[in-house]
Structure 1
C-alpha cells in the first residue's frame, strides 16, 4: 500500500525532495495560488507553521494554476511573492496540477485517501488542505473556506 512517504516533489528551487524527509511530522498539504480570494490564507498558514513547527508540524505548499489561472507566475515569481508578501518560510514546491491527466501522483494519492464533499475526488479550488498525521496517514481534507485558524485545533490534536 502506498504511503505519503513514497512520493517525491520538486521544490520551487527545482530540487527533488522525498516526502520521507518529513516522516514524523504532522503535515498540512495545501494547493496554493497568488491571485485568489483565499490567498490571504498564506498569513494563517505561515503563523501555524512558525508557531507549531517546533512541535513537529510542517506546512507544504503546492502552487497550482488550474483554478481561474490564479497562479500564473513561474517558480521565481511565486517564491518572490510568497517571501515578500507573506514572509513564507514553509516549504514551497514547484507548480503542479492537482486534477486531470497531469495531476501530480501525490495529489492522486491524497484525493483517494480523503474524498471531498459527497465523496467527490477532484479538488474544487485553491487552498484545499490535507491534514496528515505523524505516521503519514491522511486524516482529513479541508475545503478552501476552512481557514488555518479554523482548523488549528485539529492540527494541534495530532501534535
Structure 2
C-alpha cells in the first residue's frame, strides 16, 4: 500500500487569506482553539509562499516539526535548525533528495508558537500537556483534517503504518 504523506506550513491563516487571518487574530487571541480542522490554517512554504492547508483535504497527513515527512523545521530544540530557509532547503534537497513540501522555520512552543501547532497540541495533548518535548513529535490527521493521534519523538514513522491504514 502506498501512502500519500503530506506536509504542513509555517504561517497561520484561516481560509480566506492573510488579511483575514490578521483581522481574526487581532479580534480573537485564541481563534485557533475553535478551528474545526487543519483546513482553517495556512503557512508559508520554504520559498515564502502562503499555502492553505486545504491543499491536503481528503488526504491522511502526518505532521511533525522537523525535516522528515512534513518538513516544518524548528530551532527551539538544541538549535538543530539554525540555518535560513534557503540553507535548509539546499541541505535537505542535496543530502536527502526530499520529495515532499517544505515549509518555513517555525516555533512550536511558547506564546509565539505557530497557531497550527497550538491547535494540534490542544486537540492531541501529550505527556507534557500542550508542549512539544523535542523534534520529531508527530501528529496524524485524518482525511477530514481532524488530528486523531499524537506520537512521541522516538516513534519511528514505519511503526505507525497500522494507524495510516485505519484512517486511509
TM-score by length of 2: 0.76
Structure 2 gaps of 5+ residues are: 1-33
Alignment of 1:31-50 (within 5 A): 31-32=65-66, 42=68, 45=69
Where relative contact order (Cα < 8 A, 6+ residues apart) is larger, the structure is 1
What residue number does 2:146 align with? 137
Select the residue among 97, 115, 118 that pairs with 1:105. Answer: 115
Offset at 1:9?
A: 0.4
More strand by share: 1
Alignment of 1:114-125 (within 5 A): 114-117=124-127, 120-125=129-134
RMSD: 1.2
What residue number does 1:53 align with? none
Is 2:19 the partner of 1:19?
Answer: no
Offset at 1:70?
A: 0.5
Query: How far does the alpha carbon of each residue in 1:54-91 deviate from its partner, in whole angstroms, 9 at most, with x for none?
Result: xxxxxx22100000000011011111111111111111
Alpha-carbon distance between aligned partners in 2 of 1:83 and 1:156, rounded to the nearest angstrom: 29
Query: How far does the alpha carbon of each residue in 1:137-158 deviate from its partner, in whole angstroms, 9 at most, with x for none?
Result: 1000111100111112211221
TM-score by length of 1: 0.81
Query: Which runs of at least 4 in structure 1 moved beyond 4 Å after TM superposition?
Result: none
